[in-house]
Amino acid sequence: NAGVTQTPKFRVLKTGQSMTLLCAQDMNHEYMYWYRQDPGMGLRLIHYSVGEGTTAKGEVPDGYNVSRLKKQNFLLGLESAAPSQTSVYFCASSGQVTEAFFGQGTRLTVV
Amino acid sequence: AQTVTQSQPEMSVQEAETVTLSCTYDTSENNYYLFWYKQPPSRQMILVIRQEAYKQQNATENRFSVNFQKAAKSFSLKISDSQLGDTAMYFCAFMKALNTGTASKLTFGTGTRLQVTL
């Protein structure tokens, strides 16, 4: 009964380093999303996918890339991390008429 | 574009009392969904309650109920018999009704931090 699983849970990066966050869901959901959460700003959509092989930009896409090579996985990449990308990142998935189910979040610090 | 406003950054309530969290939204859509999510210190996002805009009846889930006023674009959450475990950040969220191939993107408010005290 895993639902949505994110790895890693915590990460510290130096400015300019790259990394990939992995999201996996076992609910056969079509739609997947990456959000970031910052104090006082709620959650904001970075990128999303409506199906395998498709991706689209959300509200704050700059500095991030994504890929959905398999239906169950959605990867978020940071090519050159910046301190402004220090945040908590959430992955979520949903079906056609269901609410979103969230992963447990990844706390990323860029120093 | 949709916007969601939560005007109460922090609230406090005593155990066993009732508290209401406010949420207003702005949209030109007629068909949509509204949600309240709870985020405890564990950071997990937990769905509390969901309301379909086409339903006039207010949604309820045990101690949690909403007051949905579509014309006023208001969606408040009432927590009855508050418990210590209700201490969390609460987010109001909006989602357009889905068409085939349209992702159910959520627009969140900035959250209300609720503290339940003894």
Contacts of B97 (CB under 8 A, 6+ apart): B29, B31, B32, B33, B53
List Cα–Cα distances, A60 to A35, A57, B75, in angstroms: 9, 8, 26
CA–CA separation, B78 and B97 (whole Å): 24
CA distances for A48 relative to A51, A59, B84, angstroms: 9, 10, 35
Closest approach of chain B CAs to the CA of A99, in angstroms? Answer: 8
Q: What is the pLDDT of residues B12-37, one digit of tens each?
A: 999 999 999 999 999 998 889 999 99
How many CB atoms sit inside 10 A of residue B55's CB?
10
Question: Which residue would you say has higher pLDDT here, B65 or A97?
Answer: B65
Contact residues for B35 (Cβ-Cβ < 8 A; gap 6+): A99, B47, B48, B49, B50, B51, B92, B93, B94, B95, B106
Residue A92 to residue B70: CA distance in whole angstroms? 27
CB-defined contacts A:B, below 8 A: 58
Which residue matches tokens 């989602």?
Answer: B95
Instruction: Tell me, yes or no, if B16 comes closer than 8 A to chain A by beta carbon.
Output: no
Residue B73 in contact with partner chain A when CB distance is under 8 A: no
Split at pLDDT 50, 70, 90, the class of A100 is confident
Judging contacts by C-beta atoms under 8 Å, the chain A residues touching residue B33 are: 99
Minimal Cα–Cα distance from A66 to chain B, Å? 16
Could you read off the pLDDT of A29-39 as tens digits, one per residue? Answer: 999 999 999 98
* Strand, coil or helix: A84: helix
pLDDT of residue A98: 72
- Asked if B102 reaches chain A (Cβ–Cβ under 8 Å), the answer is yes
**d(CA A35, nearest CA chain B) in Å:** 10
Q: A99: which chain B residues are within 8 Å (Cβ-Cβ)?
A: 33, 35, 47, 50, 95, 104
Measured between CA atoms, the residue of chain B closest to residue A49 is B103
Q: Is B46's pLDDT higher than 90? A: yes
Instruction: Give me the residue from A100, A101, A105 closest to B43, CB to CB.
Output: A105
Tell me the per-residue pLDDT of B71-89, one tens digit each, with 9 for 90 and over. Answer: 999 999 999 999 999 999 9
Q: Which two tokens stand for residue B90?
A: 């609460």
Residue B108 and residue A43: Cβ atoms within 8 Å?
yes
What's the length of chain A? Answer: 111
pLDDT tens for each residue of A38-78: 988 889 999 999 899 999 999 999 999 999 999 999 999 99
- B97 pLDDT band (50/70/90 cuts)? confident
- What is the bridge-based pairing of β-strands A106-110 and A87-94? antiparallel
pLDDT above 60 for B116: yes
- Which residues of chain B make contact with A46, given a CB cutoff of 8 A? none
A11-20, A63-72, B15-24, B51-60: segment of lowest average pLDDT: B51-60
Q: What is the mean pLDDT of chain B?
A: 92
Quick: pLDDT tens for A73-93.
999 999 999 999 999 999 999
pLDDT above 70 covers a percentage of chain B that reads 94
Q: Which residue of chain B comes nearest to A29, CA vs CA?
A: B103
- Of A55, A59, A68, A84, which is closest to residue A23 (Cα–Cα)? A68
**Chain B, nearest residue to A37 by Cα:** B110
